């Protein structure tokens, strides 16, 4: 069931999104050679807790950390570790969220660890641009497929591929709500977009093929061909005046 949020609900949810965005920004600024992924995770968790919120990924279906931190050919759901240090040239995808007074925020971005290759920079830039193409298509009266097609067509026009096994989602009093928001598919299909809908749009883009595999840990998703992957995400709300990004914060 798709739940349209009231103005009161959106006010609380925007705070959850602000906290989510602040945590992502803090962790992203700390990406540098030598830091461990566990240290990045702690920075994010400490900020979320300091704002009176809870990390909504932690213990979700048994996930053990605040953030998913995925490096290079890891697509999503990389588990932070005290034994894993970032290296010069890595690209680091951080995905996290916060729950505040029963409402959720969710966001992600890919960060450069020092100087990165032109291929990696291009992948990151196109993935981020595809997110904003998808957001721009999230117009009241349109369809979910408009978002999906905007992402896919932009990514594939640039010679990259979108992951199909994992998709974006609705969000609100649960971290994952209806509807699913794929990053592929034809425009003009799917449910109609209406004011009050809150969505997490999250392109996952591979430099090579779209196929992925899951490690034995049951969480970490890698590109099947070993190519680099990037991930960007915002939580948005559909309004009569167009889509509004909720996961924005300056800390």
**pLDDT (mean) for 13-41:** 98
Q: What is the mean pLDDT of the chain?
A: 98
Is residue 191 in some structural domain? yes
Question: How does residue 250 score in pLDDT terms, banded at 50, 70 and 90?
Answer: confident
The CATH number linked to 47 is 3.90.230.10
Question: Is there a domain that residue 219 lies in?
Answer: yes
Is-contact 160 167, C-beta < 8 A?
A: no
Residue recorded with tokens 């981020």:
128
Range of the domain at 86: 7-245
pLDDT at 27 over 80: yes
At 249 the pLDDT is 84
pTM equals 0.98
The number of domains in the chain is 1
pLDDT in tens, 153-190: 999 999 999 999 999 999 999 999 999 999 999 999 99
Distance (Å, rounded) from C-alpha 131 to C-alpha 13? Answer: 21
At residue 251, the pLDDT reads: 73
């Amino acid at each position: 069931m798709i739940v349209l949020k009231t103005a009161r609900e959106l006010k609380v949810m925007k705070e959850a999104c602000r906290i989510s965005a602040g945590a992502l920004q803090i962790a992203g600024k700390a990406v540098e050679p030598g830091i461990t992924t566990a240290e990045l995770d702690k920075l994010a968790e400490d900020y979320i807790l300091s704002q009176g919120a809870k990390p909504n990924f932690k213990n979700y279906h048994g996930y053990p950390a605040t953030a998913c931190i995925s490096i290079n050919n890891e697509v999503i759901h990389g588990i932070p570790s005290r034994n894993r240090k970032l290296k010069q040239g890595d690209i680091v995808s951080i995905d996290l969220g916060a729950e505040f007074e029963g409402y959720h925020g969710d966001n992600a971005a890919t960060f450069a660890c020092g100087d990165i290759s032109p291929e990696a920079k291009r992948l990151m830039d196109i993935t981020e641009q595809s997110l904003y193409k998808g957001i721009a298509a999230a117009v009241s009266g349109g369809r979910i497929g408009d978002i999906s097609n905007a992402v896919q067509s932009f990514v594939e026009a640039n010679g990259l591929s979108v992951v199909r096994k994992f998709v974006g989602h609705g969000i609100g009093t649960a971290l994952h709500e209806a509807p699913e928001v794929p990053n592929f598919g034809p425009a003009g299909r799917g449910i109609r977009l209406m004011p009050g809908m809150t969505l997490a749009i999250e392109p996952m883009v591979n430099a090579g093929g779209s196929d992925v595999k899951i490690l034995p840990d049951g969480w970490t998703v890698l590109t099947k061909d070993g190519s680099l992957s990037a991930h960007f995400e915002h939580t948005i709300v559909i309004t009569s005046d167009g889509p509004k990004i909720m996961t924005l914060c300056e800390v």
